Amino acid sequence: MAVRPVLIRRPPEEVWAVLCDGRRYAEWVVGTHASRPLDERWPQIGTAIAYVIRAGPWELRGRTVVRDHRPGRRLELEACTRALGSARISIEVRPWGEHALVTLDEHPLTGPGGRLHTVVSELVLQARHRCMTKRLAHVVENGARG
């Protein structure tokens, strides 16, 4: 299970504002080319965002469904694509002084990732999370857009 904490030098409310904007996931989720909410109630439980993953000439479409939502504290998601299966992603946001401590926790549930989960795939997830938490921090701290 890949768990990665990151200190974001902004208040938790600013982190939460980025997490609650389903159109901004492509700015910080590694591999995601575009995202959009499928429901204006995002991120309420049961709502989803659609996303596109591009790798060279290949394109995968998927959706991420909110499984748990504790406003300002925790967002649990299930990312699903037909080809790759699904993964559980938990994002916890806690105050850390005047900043936010964000913990990203992800593990595969179904599909090839779930069946073939090994030490090597765990290392790949850890590398992805290092990049993703760095990107999230950049988006929040610098107000980066697209």
pLDDT digit string, tens, across residues 36-64: 999 999 999 999 999 998 888 889 899 99
- pLDDT at residue 112, as a whole number: 66
Number of neighbouring beta carbons within 10 Å of residue 25: 22
CATH superfamily, domain 2-142, is: START domain (3.30.530.20)
* Nearest of 103, 73, 102 to residue 9 by alpha carbon: 102
The residues of the chain scoring below 70 in pLDDT are 1, 112-122, 144-146
User: Can you state the angle between helices 119-142 and 12-19, rounded to 10 degrees?
Assistant: 110
- pLDDT at residue 129, as a whole number: 77
The domains of the chain are located at 2-142
- pLDDT at residue 85, as a whole number: 87
